[in-house]
Amino acid sequence: MNGKKTQRAVVSCGERICYTLEYKKIKNINLRVHPDGEVFVSAPLRCPAERVDRFVSEKGAFIFAARKKLEVRRPPEQKKLESGETYRILGRTYRIAVVKAENERVQSEGDVIYIYAKNPEDAARRQKLFNDWLIRRCEKVFGETADAVCEKLKVYGVPHASITVKDMKSRWGSCKPSEKRITLNKQLIKADEECVEYVIVHEYAHFLHPDHSPAFHAFVGSVLPDWKERSARLKKVEIVKGQ
């Protein structure tokens, strides 16, 4: 068992925490929060996994505080959003075009995303215009997909969850079943529609199965038989700071 790594999950403070567990020749359980926010735990060889779960759950407040400090310490690196750059939306690549205009707005036409700005040289303004537009696009796409998924899952007694869109450093989504809330990474909009659906099904599945147990994967598979293919495609989509 020495050196073997497994993925586990617990619920603490109403929020799910995924972590990597590794058994080693040590005396005590050790927990580390890496710079990307991921949680790694090492435990003595004969320590029951259930005991490690309790340990991680009890450290929930520490983990959340550590992640918050990391986000403050490393602000996102923003793209320039200049003409000629590209951005992917729902698996399709669009070219950015910045245009001087009094009526500031962002809109997509064909394979181009136009950023209309009074001062095209103002990088901060371009970023705000684009980000506001992108959030609205995410809310619409994710909301409609989540509604369709919830309709499929209502036979299992899954409640309708509110959808929140935000920047996330290393995860595509998270959920708080106790608050009937699912949070999705803004950059998930880069993935194709089937991958978006997969992430939402994945988070809804945690309303019934809090960890990544065989029962969890069996449930996801019953809803999306091709979930492994979708997951493989999603792994090719990069989460880049400030995008």
Tens-binned pLDDT, residue by residue, of the chain (243 aa): 556 778 888 988 888 898 999 999 899 999 999 877 889 999 999 899 999 999 999 999 999 999 888 766 554 455 688 898 889 999 998 999 999 999 999 999 988 999 999 999 999 999 999 999 999 999 999 999 999 999 999 999 999 999 999 988 888 999 999 899 999 999 999 999 999 999 999 999 999 998 888 999 999 999 999 999 999 999 888 877 666
Domain locations in the chain as residue ranges: 5-73, 86-234
| 219, 209 contact by CB (below 8 A) | yes
- By CB atoms closer than 10 A (0-12, 13-18, 19+), residue 233 is middle
| 127, 104 contact by CB (below 8 A) | no
User: What's at 172, amino acid-wise?
Assistant: W
CB atoms within 10 A of CB 158: 17
Indicate yes or no: pTM above 0.85.
Answer: no
| 3-state SS track over the chain | CCCCEEEEEEEECCEEEEEEEEEECCCCCEEEECCCCCEEEEEECCCCHHHHHHHHHHCHHHHHHHHHHHHHHCCCCCCCCCCCCEEEECCEEEEEEEEECCCCEEEEECCEEEEEECCCCCHHHHHHHHHHHHHHHHHHHHHHHHHHHHHHHHHHCCCCCEEEEECCCCCCEEEEHHHCEEEEEHHHHHCCHHHHHHHHHHHHHCCCCCCCCHHHHHHHHHHCCCHHHHHHHHCCCCCCCCC
Q: Can you say how many angstroms the Cα of residue 39 is from the centroid of all Cα atoms in its chain?
A: 15
Looking at domain 86-234, its CATH architecture is 2-Layer Sandwich (3.30)
Q: Can you say how many angstroms the Cα of residue 168 is from the centroid of all Cα atoms in its chain?
A: 6
| 193, 145 contact by CB (below 8 A) | yes
Residue entry with tokens 């809804």? 204
pLDDT of residue 242: 61
| 45, 25 contact by CB (below 8 A) | yes
pLDDT of residue 76: 44
Residue entry with tokens 């949070």? 183
CB atoms within 10 A of CB 102: 7
Side-chain-side CA neighbours of residue 201 (13 Å) = 26
